[in-house]
Amino acid sequence: MSEFTPTDRTQVHRLPKRANYDRETVHRILDEAMICHVGFVADGQPYVIPTGFGRAGDTLYIHGSAASRMLGAAAEGIPVCITVTLLDGLVLARSAFHHSMNYRSVVILGKARSVESEKEKIEALRTFTEHIVPGRWDDVRKPTVQELKATWVLAVPLEEASAKIRTGPPIDDEEDYALPIWAGVLPLKTVPGATAKDPRLTHQLEPPAYVSKYRRG
Output the pLDDT for position 70.
Answer: 67
Query: What 3-state DSSP class applies to 149?
Result: helix
Q: 16-172+183-212, superfamily in CATH?
A: Electron Transport, Fmn-binding Protein; Chain A (2.30.110.10)
Output the pLDDT for position 16.
Answer: 72
Q: Domain-by-domain residue ranges, the chain?
A: 16-172+183-212
Nearest to 153 by CA among 179, 195, 121, 189: 121
Output the pLDDT for position 178.
Answer: 97
Q: How many CB atoms are located within 10 Å of the residue 107 CB?
A: 19
Whole-angstrom CA distances from 169 to 152, 164, 208 are 43, 17, 39
Output the pLDDT for position 204.
Answer: 87
pLDDT along the chain (217 residues), means of 10: 77 74 93 95 88 95 76 75 97 98 96 91 96 96 93 92 96 97 96 93 92 89
pTM over 0.75: yes
